[in-house]
Amino acid sequence: MTVPDFAARTQLSDDVARLIRTRIFDGGYAAGSYIRLDQLAAELGISVTPVREALFALRAEGLIAQQPHRGFVVLPVTGRDVADVANVQGYVGGELAARAAVNITDDQLRELKQIQAELEEAYAGADNDRTVRLNHEFHRAINVAADSPKLAQLMSQITRYAPESVFPAIEGWPEQSMRDHRRILSALKKHDDELARAAMSQHLAAGAVPLIEHLAARGVVVDGSHPTSG
């Protein structure tokens, strides 16, 4: 994995936290391993302060724990954890999509279609970094169109727990995701709030099972269970 040029940035702690999350979910930091603050700061060419801030943020998210005199240890990820996050994303994201269907403007629809076209190009070119960025932009544009800032902020916090960077590597997911996105776009164009809610909810929840299987195969998820939504 290519390490970003952290030294060139001014706001670092969020970027460091994102890097650590990615390493946890791609198996780079296994459950039970320790993340050494000084070592990571030296690797990234930055001071220990943003690394410490990132580690404290990840501790608050429940991804790592701090042990006295030993540092920060990576906690296990379970299938239930991943399924719970996907189900909450599905509920909140569905509500945002429903509100977006009511409020979305023609300009916002054009922007979404452009993002989707670029996303499909990125998937076709196997450009994983670009697909992750554009997929995030697609969902963010819908959340902005919902005109519900607090709910969108909550969705942003939930999304931190979802390993977005993993999805392009899951077999069959790019094709499934593109089909889902087209259904969501169609519902938004029709200004059909219930159709948009259902399409978005199903899209976000559908990723749980293949994601758990993908993570379990790489030893990231410590059990194979994947509870379904009730």
Residue 174 and residue 131 in contact, taking contact as beta carbons nearer than 8 Å: yes
Taking residue 110's Cβ as centre, other Cβ atoms within 10 Å add up to: 10
SS3 147: coil
Residue 217 has pLDDT above 90, yes or no: no
Count of residues in the chain: 230
Q: What crossing angle do the helices spanning 128-145 and 106-124 adopt, rounded to 10°?
A: 160
- Domains, the chain, ordered by start: 13-74 (1.10.10.10), 79-217 (1.20.120.530)
Gap between the Cα atoms of 135 and 113, Å rounded: 12
Give the pLDDT confidence of 39-78 residue by residue, as tens digits. 999 999 999 999 999 999 999 888 999 998 889 999 998 9
Give the pLDDT confidence of 15-39 residue by residue, as tens digits. 899 899 889 988 889 899 999 999 9
Rounded to 5 degrees, φ, ψ at 35 are -100, 115
pTM as predicted = 0.81
